[in-house]
Amino acid sequence: MRQWLNPILNGLNGVSGPVTIYFRDDDGGWADDRLLPLLDLFDSLCVPMDLAVIPMALTAELASQLRQRIETHRQVLGLHQHGYAHFNHQSSGRRCEFGDQRLFLEQYADIAAGRQLLNEAFGPYSEPIFTPPWNRCTQETVAALNELGFRALSRDISAKPLATGKLSEIPVHVDWSGKFRRAERYPFPLGKRIAEAIQQSAQVGIMLHHQRMDGVERQLLAALLKVLSSHPKVNLALMNEILS
């Protein structure tokens, strides 16, 4: 089964320079029973992971556990804002919390309220990075983020380009759960997609959704993390390190 990693190893061996790889897990606040084992996995291998936290879904218990993890191993876990309530406001079309059917002031109010909740929960541990639910947002979202002092926007690499102004973009290139699920638990297409991303970019983001990951998937992820963490051309980083 480890053969699915061969395209990744070949891709890494074929690039001329180092590759920075970062992991972004979405929907923090949902399915804590699957989030905590994923955090344990990354922690056990000393691999950094960024958690996009839904402000309205965050409980006091989870906030306390996340703070404790950061204070123990700050270099392994990053936290940032994932929308506000992860609620679809579109009456038609693709789901979106910050879509074209919401005015600037409505978007601004939600983003500001979410940021306040995370600041109260995490203080300086909350990074000025914004991941919109479903990886979709509008130019009004960007305007609100700039006014509120955010430093980066993280979406899928295929998202519609926006004039981001002072905002940096930290995209994700590979959807682990999407490729894995569509492949019906057969990981070879996922390995090929990661290899392609490595060959195409010196910075590669991999998106996770912990609530969709069971023990089998975590074992496959563990195998990938071990390969990446031991490869001389790989720099495993937190998203805020890319902004530095």
Distances (CA, A) of 2 to 15, 19, 97, 111, 174: 21, 21, 38, 42, 19
Contact indicator for 20, 237 with CB cutoff of 8 Å: yes
Listed residue (104, 54, 45) closest to 76, CA to CA:
45
Q: Return the axis-axis angle of helices 6-14 and 215-230, rounded to nearest 10°.
A: 20
* pLDDT at 12 > cutoff 80: yes
Phi, psi of 163 (to 5 degrees): -80, 100
Banded model confidence at residue 73, pLDDT cuts 50, 70, 90? confident
The answer to whether 31 touches 211, Cβ cutoff 8 Å, is: yes
Q: How far is CA 59 from CA 41, 64, 145, in A?
A: 22, 9, 24
Overall pTM surpassing 0.85 (yes/no):
yes
Rounded Cα–Cα distance for residues 226 and 2 (Å): 12
β-pair type (203-209, 49-53): unpaired
Furthest CA-CA distance within the chain = 51
CB 183 within 8 Å of CB 190 = yes
pLDDT at 183: 53
pLDDT at 102: 97
pLDDT of residue 180: 56
**Residue 185 in this model has a pLDDT that exceeds 90:** no
Instruction: Go through the domains of the chain in sequence order and give each one's CATH number.
Output: 2-243 (3.20.20.370)
